[in-house]
Amino acid sequence: MKATFGQNLLRIILGLFMTTAGIGHLTFQRDEFQAQVPSFLTDNESFIDFVVLSSGVVEILFGLSLLFVVKYRPHVGIALAIFYILIFPGNISQYTNGIDAFGLDTDLKRLVRLFFQPVLILWALWSTDGLKFLSNKFKK
């Protein structure tokens, strides 16, 4: 499947975003990412840190895959969309518990952030031809 210029541009932007976010998990935004780990998951600080660090590594891998893995581009997009779904409870937790992080310091800002997650999911699927790949799989 040949990607359009727009798809490639948005895939590259998303890849850079994911790589930067992953680095943030490991370094300068570690505390803010720890605040997003849902309290129902654990209250153990070491495990929370493990979740943040491991998800940071995963995000870096997704970012680099978006940038450099051409052969499996649709698969990467589908996996990233699933990842966005899996981390959504952290965003819900941030909203429902009124947790300030990443400049989201009001309920309205945290609520608006919830509506951005579907945008990320569609972005990952569209920019990688994941939607077309899935559509073709279900047509068979």
> For residue 90, what is the enclosing H or E element?
helix 73-96
The DSSP code for 106 is S
Band the pLDDT of 40: cuts 50, 70, 90: confident
Evaluate if residue 109 carries a pLDDT over 90.
yes
Give φ, ψ of 104 to 5 degrees.
-90, 85
Mean pLDDT of the chain: 95
Q: What is the rounded average pLDDT of the residues 77-105?
A: 95
Whole-angstrom distance, CA of residue 131 vs CA of residue 140: 15
Q: What percent of the chain has pLDDT over 70?
A: 99
Spatial CB neighbours of 67, under 8 Å, sequence gap ≥ 6: 12, 15, 16, 19
- Kindly tell me the sign of the dihedral angle through the C-alpha atoms of 64, 83, 94, 115: positive
Band the pLDDT of 140: cuts 50, 70, 90: low
Spatial CB neighbours of 25, under 8 Å, sequence gap ≥ 6: 33, 52, 53, 55, 56, 57, 59
